[in-house]
Amino acid sequence: MSDIGSGSATEWLQQGIDNGWCTGWYCENHDAFAYEDGDEVAELWEEYEGPDFCWNIVRIKAPVSHTVRAAP
């Protein structure tokens, strides 16, 4: 097991992707945003005079502890 504090952010992210723990980077602004981030997005919109700023994020995946099956 590797030390969580070692390596670059890119290596750390790649480890998360390879293990299915997170998505790759994507732009929250150009790919939509969560409702609760609306005020911050509005501030950035004003600061950068429009929607052409990138807000790079990853989505952390929750572990699946059991399988959900459809009712017969």
H-type alpha helices, 1-72: 9-18, 38-47
What's the CA gap between 4 and 21, in Å, rounded? 14
Q: Is residue 47 part of a domain?
A: yes
Inside any domain, residue 14? no
Beta bridge partners of 52: none
Is 44 inside any structural domain?
Answer: yes
pTM for the whole structure: 0.47
Look at the block and give the residue holding tokens 């390596």: 7
pLDDT at 1: 43
**31 vs 64, more confident:** 31
Between 60 and 53, whose confidence is greater?
A: 60
Residue 58 binned pLDDT confidence (cut-offs 50, 70, 90): confident
The pLDDT-based confidence of 70 (bands split at 50, 70, 90) is low
Q: Give the range of the structural domain holding residue 32, as residue numbers without chain letter.
A: 25-61
Residue 24 confidence (pLDDT) above 70: yes
How many domains, the chain? 1
Looking at residues 31-59, what average pLDDT do you find?
76
